[in-house]
């Protein structure tokens, strides 16, 4: 599920599509770290996609030192990228020099020499520049204030803000933490990265104030989402009245299995 959700992040549709898949808690977004090479590499990819560059670099280093054969060129590419983003040019140059001695990665390494000792080149790059601007304003060790705090820091007035904000919101929803989700959506809706609420967020907004359409309107919940909720609720009420509650998951799966309402009501979360 980490790979599925990473793909959704990279495609830019996490908030719209996350519950179309069989989610079961926040570890679907980021699993527990087990110190192995494979999981360290996966975590580095996840954190890099989410604009958590310090964490991406840490996991890349962990993967590199645990790789068989004394290092891994794919991970060294990530160490080049993260050090260029941080402006640690001497460290980036060290890894570039190593990769230049390989057959498969020589051209990639040589192409990245142009970024060394040039803030202007890094900041103008479509990948490295975006990631540098997403470093955030917090001056603290990684994750000392929580995973969501890291994401929200990376989202502060940056062009990468939408990705980080969506990941933070989904993090709350996967845990069914509607209290923190309420605080999140009320604070960040209208932010440059949250001009439009993703579908899953709109569905969650309705759950926050089920009987207050005025609250939904505050977040521009679409008529289509409202109409689907009316139908969802009708099925739930009918099942309760008939005493057919045990059949509810099957009855709702085809039409509403990809909704946050189905996840919130019927999915188990560790």
- Which tens digit of pLDDT belongs to each residue from 203-226? 999 999 999 999 999 999 999 999
pLDDT band for position 95 (cuts 50, 70, 90):
very high
Query: Which pLDDT value is given to residue 100?
Result: 97
pLDDT band for position 229 (cuts 50, 70, 90):
very high
Query: Which pLDDT value is given to residue 158?
Result: 58
The better pLDDT of the pair 269, 38 is held by 38
- Kindly state the tokens that stand for 171: 């993090």
CA dihedral sign of residues 231, 235, 240, 245: negative
Query: Which pLDDT value is given to residue 153?
Result: 79
Query: Which pLDDT value is given to residue 148?
Result: 87
Query: Which pLDDT value is given to residue 247?
Result: 81
Q: DSSP readout, 29-68?
A: TSPPP-S-HHHHHHHHHHHHHTT-HHHHHHHHHHHHHHST
CA distances (Å), origin 82, targets 50, 103, 106, 108, 232: 13, 22, 18, 15, 45
Q: Phi/psi class of residue 32: alpha, beta or left (left: φ > 0; alpha: ψ in -120 to 50)?
A: beta
Mean per-residue pLDDT, 75-94: 97
Q: Is 139 exposed, middle or buried (0-12, 13-18, 19+ CB in 10 A)?
A: exposed
- Kindly state the tokens that stand for 253: 């799966």
- Kindly state the tokens that stand for 88: 């640690």
Please list the alpha-helical segments (H only) found in the chain.
2-11, 14-17, 37-49, 53-66, 73-86, 89-99, 106-111, 119-124, 128-133, 147-154, 161-174, 178-188, 199-208, 213-218, 223-242, 248-256, 260-266
Q: Which long-range contacts (CB under 8 A, 24 or more apart) does 131-134 make?
A: 131/48, 131/51, 131/53, 131/81, 131/85, 131/160, 132/85, 133/158, 133/159, 133/160, 134/51, 134/53, 134/158, 134/160, 134/161, 134/164
Mean per-residue pLDDT, 44-52: 95
Average pLDDT value over all residues in the chain: 91
Mean per-residue pLDDT, 47-51: 94
pLDDT band for position 112 (cuts 50, 70, 90):
very high
Rounded-to-integer distance, Cα 176 and Cα 53, Å: 27
The better pLDDT of the pair 196, 161 is held by 196
Q: Give CA 8 to chain center in angstroms.
A: 8
pLDDT band for position 2 (cuts 50, 70, 90):
very high
pLDDT band for position 246 (cuts 50, 70, 90):
confident
The better pLDDT of the pair 153, 76 is held by 76
- Token pair 């190593």 in the structure block, residue: 98
- Token pair 């980021």 in the structure block, residue: 30
Query: Which pLDDT value is given to residue 10?
Result: 94
């Amino acid at each position: 599920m980490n790979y599925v959700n990473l793909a959704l992040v990279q495609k830019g549709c996490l908030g719209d599509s996350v519950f179309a898949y069989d989610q079961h808690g926040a570890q679907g977004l980021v699993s527990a770290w087990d110190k192995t090479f494979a999981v360290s590499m996966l975590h580095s990819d996840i954190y890099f996609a989410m604009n958590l560059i310090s964490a991406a670099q840490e996991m890349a280093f962990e993967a590199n030192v645990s790789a068989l054969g004394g290092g891994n060129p794919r991970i060294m590419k990530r160490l080049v990228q993260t050090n260029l983003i941080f402006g640690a040019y001497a460290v980036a140059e060290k890894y570039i020099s190593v990769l230049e001695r390989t057959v498969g990665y020589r051209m990639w390494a040589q192409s990245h020499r142009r970024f060394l000792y040039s803030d202007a080149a890094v900041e103008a790059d479509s990948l490295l520049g975006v990631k540098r601007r997403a470093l955030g304003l917090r001056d603290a060790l990684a994750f000392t204030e929580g995973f969501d705090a890291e994401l929200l820091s990376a989202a502060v007035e940056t062009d990468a803000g939408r990705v980080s904000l969506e990941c933070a919101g989904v993090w709350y929803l996967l845990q069914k933490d509607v209290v923190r989700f309420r605080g999140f959506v009320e604070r960040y809706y209208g932010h440059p990265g949250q001009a439009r609420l993703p579908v899953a967020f709109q569905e969650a907004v309705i759950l926050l104030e089920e009987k207050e359409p005025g609250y939904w309107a505050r977040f521009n919940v679409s008529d289509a989402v409202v109409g689907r909720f009316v139908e969802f609720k009708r099925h739930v009420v009918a099942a309760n009245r008939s005493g057919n509650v045990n059949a509810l998951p099957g009855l709702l799966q085809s039409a509403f299995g990809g909704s946050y309402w189905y996840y919130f009501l019927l999915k188990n979360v560790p």
